[in-house]
Amino acid sequence: MDAGIYNSVLVTGSNRGIGLELVRQLAESPIPPSQIFAGCRDPDGPRGKALKDLAQKHLNLITVVPLDTTDPASIKEASRVVGSKLGDGGLSLLINNAALNIPGNLQEAGMKEMVDVYITNVVGPMLVSKEFLPYMQRSSALPGSWAAKSGSKAAIINVSSLLSSIEMCRVTFSEACMYPYRTSKAALNMLTCCMAEELKTDGILVTALHPGWVKTEMGGPQAVLTPIESVSGMLRVISSLTSKDSGTLLNWEGNGIPW
């Protein structure tokens, strides 16, 4: 994977699971980005340790940024920190990875579960994208900052799920009833489509990406992919995106998933 096509990358929810592996593979790729911003809501807590250890190994590359994607003040402060490190440069890749799953079928899920999951999985990515957009627009305006073949110079990746697919629900529902999670990720797909349309003129791609069923806290031990396998596929897909992929839902192997 040629990570060098990204000048700078921000990954949300990067202290564990897929987010941590994204930061690790980006940092350890043969041509890494010039800056990696690793968002984490509690870097100094016990859950932040693995990320801080990784950042310690890549001192000039990884900046751990306190970022709670559901807290507008935290998003603003993170943007200030990232902006000061970027200087005149732009942000070429934003990966909205942070998410929450509160499992619940029709009987179990109530207002709190629906709202909490929606805020984390939909409102968070929207607010983060909005706040960091000026840096992405700046990246898009810089010459040659994204792979020439993509026809775009910056990208927002919304980490979605196969469970978001309305068309696939008939097949996937019995295995994972999860009302709050499914509906939130379906809404994230719509956010992806809206932003893809709006940001087309800025040359910013916006794509929803399903990482596969991955062994993380969220995916559980029965999952079929390791974070290493999932993330190497995701980064391969991200590095080969073109404008025709903007406003679509792809899986970690680059195959389209029906809405």
Helix intervals (H) in 17-168? 17-28, 49-57, 72-86, 111-118, 124-141
**Structure-derived torsion over alpha carbons of residues 113, 234, 66, 206, reported in degrees to the nearest 10:** -80
**Residue from the set 3, 6, 10, 17 that interacts with ligand NDP by CB under 6 A:** 17
Tell me the three state secondary structure of residue 232.
helix
Binding mask 155-194 for ligand NDP (x = CB under 6 A): ----x-x---------------------------------
The distance of closest approach from Cβ of residue 151 to ligand NDP in the complex, given in angstroms and rounded to an integer, is 27
Number of H-type helices and E-type strands within the chain: 8, 7
193: alpha, beta or left, given left = phi > 0 and alpha = psi -120 to 50? alpha
Q: Determine the interface stretch with ligand NDP among 39-47, 141-149, 235-243, 250-258 (rule: CB under 6 A).
A: 39-47
Q: Is 211 in the site for ligand NDP (CB under 6 A)?
A: yes
Q: Is 15 in the site for ligand NDP (CB under 6 A)?
A: yes
**Residue from the set 52, 89, 218, 226 that interacts with ligand NDP by CB under 6 A:** 218
User: Is 116 exposed, middle or buried, given 0-12, 13-18 or 19+ CB atoms closer than 10 A?
Assistant: middle
For ligand NDP, give the closer residue by CB, 7 or 121. Answer: 121
- Binding residues for ligand NDP, per CB under 6 A? 12-13, 15-19, 41-42, 47, 67-70, 97-100, 120, 124, 159, 161, 210-211, 213-214, 216-219, 223
